[in-house]
C-alpha cells in the first residue's frame, strides 16, 4: 500500500473531539501497528452518519525530508493509547518546532492554535470597527443577509 492509499484509507471518518483534532497540525495513519502515512492537516469535514456526526481529516502528505517522516514513517506507532478508540493524541518531540504558526490576528505573535488567547475576539472587534463603524448590529445584519452556505 502506498502512502497516498494509506492516507485516503485512514483519514476518516472518525468519532473525534472536533476542537481537539482541530488544534492538531499533523496526522499519522497507522496500520497493523506501523506508521503508514504522515500528513499536515489542512482542514476537517463533517459527515452525518447513522451513528452520528463523524469527522474526516483533509491533509497533504509531508515531504520526503520532513522531520516527522524521517522519524516515524514505517516505524511502530508512537501514540499507543491502550484504548479501543482508533484515534489517539500525543505531542511528538519532532513536531514541537513545527507546530508554532503566526497568530491569525496579525499581531506578530506565535501560537500552536489559530490565535493567541483572546486575539480572536480582538480580530473580530477590529473588523467591526474598521468595516462596520463599530456597530456589532451592522455586522450581524450583514451576515444574516448572506446566502446560506452549507459547511460540509
Angle at CA of residue 31, ends 27 and 34, nearest 5°: 80
So where are the chain's domains? 3-91, 110-145
**Is the Cβ–Cβ distance between 85 and 43 less than 8 Å?**
no
How many residues does the structure list for the chain?
A: 152
Q: What is the mean pLDDT of residues 122-145?
A: 95
- Residue 70 C-alpha cell reads as 524521517
pLDDT at 85: 65
pLDDT in tens, 63-117: 999 999 999 999 998 987 776 667 777 778 788 777 788 999 999 998 878 899 9
Between the alpha carbon of residue 49 and those of residues 14, 53, 54, 59, 77, the distances in Å are 11, 6, 7, 22, 28
Q: Is 144 helix (H, G, I), strand (E, B) or coil?
A: helix
Place of cell 484504548: 83
Does the pTM surpass 0.95? The reply is: no
pLDDT in tens, 24-57: 889 999 988 899 999 999 999 999 999 999 999 9
Between the alpha carbon of residue 58 and those of residues 7, 21, 43, 45, 46, the distances in Å are 10, 11, 5, 7, 11
Closest by CA to 7, choosing from 32, 26, 34, 28, is: 28
Q: Is 51 helix (H, G, I), strand (E, B) or coil?
A: coil
Amino acid at each position: 500500500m502506498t502512502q497516498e492509499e494509506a492516507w485516503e484509507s485512514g483519514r476518516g471518518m472518525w468519532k473525534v473531539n472536533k476542537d481537539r483534532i482541530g488544534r492538531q497540525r499533523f496526522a499519522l495513519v497507522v496500520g497493523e501497528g506501523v506508521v503508514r502515512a504522515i500528513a499536515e492537516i489542512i482542514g476537517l469535514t463533517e459527515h452525518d452518519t447513522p451513528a452520528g456526526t463523524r469527522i474526516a481529516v483533509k491533509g497533504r502528505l509531508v515531504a520526503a525530508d520532513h522531520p516527522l517522516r524521517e522519524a516515524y514513517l514505517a516505524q511502530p506507532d508512537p501514540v499507543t493509547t491502550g484504548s479501543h478508540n482508533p484515534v489517539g493524541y500525543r505531542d511528538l518531540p519532532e513536531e514541537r518546532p513545527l507546530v508554532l504558526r503566526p497568530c491569525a490576528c496579525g499581531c506578530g505573535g506565535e501560537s500552536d492554535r489559530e490565535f493567541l488567547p483572546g486575539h480572536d475576539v480582538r480580530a473580530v472587534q477590529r473588523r467591526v470597527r474598521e468595516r462596520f463603524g463599530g456597530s456589532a448590529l451592522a455586522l450581524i445584519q450583514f451576515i444574516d443577509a448572506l446566502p446560506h452556505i452549507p459547511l460540509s
